[in-house]
Structure 1
Amino acid sequence: MKKLYVIFCICLVIISILAFSSISFAKISDPIPEKIEKSKLAVGLQEIVQIPKSGTGRKKVARLNFLTHAGDGSGRLFVNDMRGKIYVILNGKASLYMNFKNVVCSNFSYETSQQGFSYFTFHPEFAKNGIFYTVHSEEKNNSIPDFPVTKRITDNKDNTIESSHHDVIREWKAANPAANTFTGTFREIMRIEQPYEDHNTGQLGFNPNAKPGDSDYGMLYIALADGGSNGFPVSDTDPLDNGQDLSTPLGKILRIDPFGKNGANGKYGIPGDNPFANDRNPKTLGEIWAYGLRNPHRFSWDTGSDRKMLIVDTGQAFIEEVNLGIKGANYGWGNREGTWVIDQKNENVLFPLPKDDAKYSYTYPVAQYSHHVPKDYPGFYGIAITGGYVYRGKAIPELIGQYIFADFGSDARFFHVPVDELVNGKQATIKELRLVDGKKEATFLQIIGSERSDVRFGIDEEGEIYVTSKSDGKVRKLVPTPKN
């Protein structure tokens, strides 16, 4: 009887463990079922300028990807066409600043949807030194990358294939920083081999809050996605496991000193206060500032309040993320998507976090939304997040302190969340920002007259926010709604 009782107790324990496991690791098909509510806040969109067409056939309009200012007090805006041009906008008119494609090299590659001349940023002392930075894609040819792909690359049938291309970061020095047409010199500072066509190098940027003498002043931040997938154009779950691999720059935010010399090729420096600058593992890259990211194509800093850095990360099959930028943080990809466990062999499956999740020390989003489509929603609900800015302008007082971002998929909804509510360990409530066309509420697609938006955000020196779209090649500005 005693043996039977012991066996009975053991069986009960096993059954309890199995039951607990099934509850703890139950599959989740709808992680955020709640609908994002529309806000009371509304903005208008004022057309500023049409950028000249650069393509052919149905894809004639300029592929606008980034808009920013030079921080030189000139009031100028700069916007890039991914096909290889930078335009300067002044007094509502656009003129060609530089034909990037002609200057760079014959290897310039821009035919696929995520390749081309992607991003640029101005050095904090551009007004004096004329220096700015760009990133673009090139055919490999005989160039040697500073960061080669060292893992086996496969197609969706597990056949070994060649890597896709190189992403190249260059430093430019304008002979006259005040001129509206570029003449000057350039040098290559970094070349990164990309395994697949998608998920390439994202935004370049300097912390606008850093002042001369600060350790962060003049340090260049570089967003790098995980390198794409063998299932392009629909990415698999980090097939090369780059997100958690500290020996590759892919799936990371890098931070470098562009004027230094101790980097991989002697053309840039590794700041001594980077989290892995003095790591004992020789394979760990000192350039890494944060890791575990899927596609962090946009980041920005709030210039008021707590001066938070905000990083958006495009999700896989379920979750779009807004993250706080934190030195040394591991954002979990490809083991986590949002605040859930992801099945690396099945992108359509999520699981709850395990009870011992704290031991992994992942940093989770402070705001997130899902691809879930409510029954009463007539279209796509969420596809891919595009990062924006915390509004610090003067034209729309009710928008001050709101982080403005959007989903650049088919429906192109605009969102906002108070930056003060973006706190680690909590999930801020996202609301949909209403758009007004004239005196009538409208969607962004209705405003631009297109079926797809590819919306992007930009900002000027006064903190006013701008909107661009690859669908019509126009630059627009957020403005107050008309008064009744």
Structure 2
Amino acid sequence: MKNRINLVAVLFLLFAFSCSEPETKEFGVTISQDVDQIKAGKVLFDQNCSTCHNFNENAIGPNLSGVTRQVDTDWIKRFIKNPSEFFEAKDERAERLLAVYKTQMPAFPNFSESDLNSILSYLHTFETLPLEILGDTTSNLIPEKIQDSGIKFELEFFAQLPASDTTPALAKMTKMEPIPGTNRLMINDQRIGIYELVDQKPQLYLNLLEQRPDMVSKPGWATGLGSFTFHPEFLENGLFYTAHTEPGGTKPSDFGYTDSLKVFMQWVLTEWKAESPSSKTFEGTSREILRIDNASQAHGMQELTFNPNSKKGDDDFGLLYIGYGDGGTVEKRFAYISDHGGSGIYSSILRIDPAGNNSANGKYGIPTINPFSGDQGKAGEVLAYGFRNPNRIFWDESGKLFATDIGQHSIEEINLIEPGKFYGWPIREGRFMINPFGSFRTLYPLPADDDKKGVTYPLIQLEHDEAVAVIGGYFIPDGKLKGNIVFGDIPTGRLFFADLDQNPNPEVKSMNVVFEGKETTMEEIVGGRVDLKFGIDAEKQVYIMSKNQGIIYKIVNTL
């Protein structure tokens, strides 16, 4: 990491927030993190303070990111209400502020104690300001480069979906899996619905666009039909589940956020009940289970799945796992929506009981085995939190749960998921510190007291010179790579594998493919951006898919 230090930031730290009290003192511990108080504080800040202060850079007054963690709470409140008191007393910190900014801050004598507490709560949502480093520091963060293994997947053409648009992504598949207990292979097109591949030919099973005319799959990214999954007892109960997007404000949501952030889209979780589970075309009923506001077209309900290892009678049999990202809220500088400590559903892996009814909306259940079930002030749906975009959730045969997480500007992750754990976003990216109110292109080494944050770090982290958007695949059932997870980079289709049982840091290696007798890459096969995805069939055979041409390739051999 580069060592050039921004002089302005150094002055800011030395002059604006230097403290005569011992460095070991922890500030801000008494500040409330009540959501309503934070919202009230934001309104007061926007109306009274934002002309001179922000959380990204020094302006008329100092950048306030981190002030509540570096300065005594009572000092800040008194200073806001009557700065002259401190200048008249020749307070050391006040005089240093004056030396840098050349003007005294105006007084706010009409602020009540409640007003001051609300402002402090809002300021406290902005993470500690690290030393700002000039330029883009998100290169060569991880010096060890991934080596080519020399192993290759031999591919053959398997199937192609009909074009649903004329854009480079001719079809937008994200997932291909069998209906449990059958050989029926199902695949989605985000713009249309769910197909069944019958004799390797697509046959439309569920026309979701027809069933839900409010569904939108533009402006691209992961919008539309983002994911689907069939209940493990589908053959008996006919139940399956979809996640799709609709415009913001289409209907009242079950989960939202501050009114000052626009709702761009809504993610909708739907349960479908087929009258005849053996039918080749869906006929039946449906019900909406959950609707969540999203601030952008990104990082929403990217994954729906059931534990494939779970058997009837197991604690999590029939429980639905949901991967939900930050919805783009961090990029819009509302980091507290993700940094919720288990009290919210954004940036989380959720686990719900579709057959229950003890949720706030009465349409699903909160499993008692969830880590925050019944905890005051916590979201009982949350299994684990701290993810930017947990786009794939998967299990190995021993029952360990994993998730891939797409990073911001620097680091891609594969995480071992444990109930109740915090996985770092938005204050960590991989094993590095990030300031969610500063430059996303600047990462920092972990601080000496990092253990106070309680972050669980990834098993695997990839720098963006290796992969810019990770997508998880499946475990290889046999051959040279038996038991290894295969995964890749969405845009380039670069393929990797690793043994996730290696501790503490599984070794990652890359690989190429052989197609029509020629060693090549996925980019060369599809002629550009790959938009890589993976699929699996009932025999656990793994497939590689490309949205670019809407094509599915079968792995027929490992060379």
Tell me the TM-score normalized by structure 2: 0.73
Q: Report the equivalent of 1:33.
A: 143
Q: State the AA in 2 paired with 1:147.
A: F
**How many angstroms apart in 2 are the aligned matches of 1:330 and 1:60?**
35
Q: State the AA in 2 paired with 1:125.
A: E
Q: Report the equivalent of 2:373.
A: 277
1:196 aligns with 2:317: no
The percent of aligned pairs where both chains have the same amino acid is: 39
* 1:52-76 Cα distance to aligned partner (Å, 9 max, x none): 11113x3472111111111122x11
**How many angstroms apart in 2 are the aligned matches of 1:148 and 1:240?**
14
Alignment of 1:99-114 (within 5 A): 99-104=207-212, 106-113=213-220, 114=222
**How many angstroms apart in 1 are the aligned matches of 2:399 and 2:517?**
35
**How many angstroms apart in 2 are the aligned matches of 1:184 and 1:331?**
40
Tell me the CA shift for residue 462 of structure 1: 1.3
- Higher percent of residues as strand: 1
Moved more, 257-266 or 358-367: 358-367
Q: Report the equivalent of 2:474.
A: 389
Q: Report the equivalent of 2:409.
A: 317
Q: Report the equivalent of 2:337.
A: 242
Tell me the CA shift for residue 247 of structure 1: 3.3
Q: Report the equivalent of 1:401.
A: 483
Q: 1:138 aligns with which of 246, 253, 257?
A: 246
Q: Report the equivalent of 1:72.
A: 181
SS state at 2:150 partner: strand
1:167 aligns with 2:167: no
1:367 aligns with 2:460: yes
Tell me the TM-score normalized by structure 1: 0.84
Q: Report the equivalent of 1:438.
A: 516
Query: Would the alpha carbon gap of residues 313 and 480 (structure 1) be closer, same or farther in structure 2, given more than 3 Å must change?
Result: same
* 1:264-295 Cα distance to aligned partner (Å, 9 max, x none): 210100001111112122xx211111001101
**1:436–1:481: 8 Å Cα contact kept in structure 2?**
no
* 1:404-432 Cα distance to aligned partner (Å, 9 max, x none): 000112x22100001221x4xx2221100
Q: 1:263 aligns with which of 359, 377, 393?
A: 359
Q: State the AA in 2 paired with 1:152.
A: S
* 1:207-253 Cα distance to aligned partner (Å, 9 max, x none): 11111111111110000010114xxxxx7386333322133311001
SS state at 2:480 partner: helix
Tell me the CA shift for residue 481 of structure 1: 5.0
Q: State the AA in 2 paired with 1:52.
A: P
Q: How many aligned positions are there?
A: 425
**How many angstroms apart in 2 are the aligned matches of 1:433 and 1:237?**
37
* 1:84-118 Cα distance to aligned partner (Å, 9 max, x none): 221101222221112110012x3111111121111
Q: Report the equivalent of 2:190.
A: 82
1:55 aligns with 2:165: yes
Q: Report the equivalent of 1:295.
A: 389
Tell me the CA shift for residue 200 of structure 1: 1.3
**1:135–1:170: 8 Å Cα contact kept in structure 2?**
yes
Q: Report the equivalent of 1:466.
A: 543
**2:156–2:516: 8 Å Cα contact kept in structure 1?**
no
- Could you say what the CA RMSD is over the residues aligned between the two structures, in angstroms? 2.0
1:95 aligns with 2:203: yes
Identify which of structures 1 and 2 has the higher relative contact order when contacts are C-alpha pairs closer than 8 Å and 6+ apart.
1
Q: 2:225 aligns with which of 117, 133, 148?
A: 117
Give structure 2 stretches of 5+ with no counterpart: 1-19, 24-129
1:183 aligns with 2:251: no
SS state at 1:88 partner: strand
Q: Report the equivalent of 1:126.
A: 234
Q: State the AA in 1 paired with 2:444.
A: F
Q: State the AA in 1 paired with 2:514.
A: V
Deviation >3 Å, runs of 4+? 24-29, 237-240
Query: Would the alpha carbon gap of residues 359 and 60 (structure 1) be closer, same or farther in structure 2, given more than 3 Å must change?
Result: closer
* 1:386-414 Cα distance to aligned partner (Å, 9 max, x none): 1111122x4xx1121110000112x2210
Q: Report the equivalent of 1:413.
A: 494
Q: State the AA in 2 paired with 1:110.
A: S
Q: Report the equivalent of 2:313.
A: 213
* 1:147-174 Cα distance to aligned partner (Å, 9 max, x none): 1223532xxxxxxxx3101100000011
The structure with the larger Rg is 2
* 1:329-368 Cα distance to aligned partner (Å, 9 max, x none): 1001011100111122111111111222222221110011
**How many angstroms apart in 1 are the aligned matches of 2:454 and 2:471?**
26
Moved more, 236-245 or 335-344: 236-245
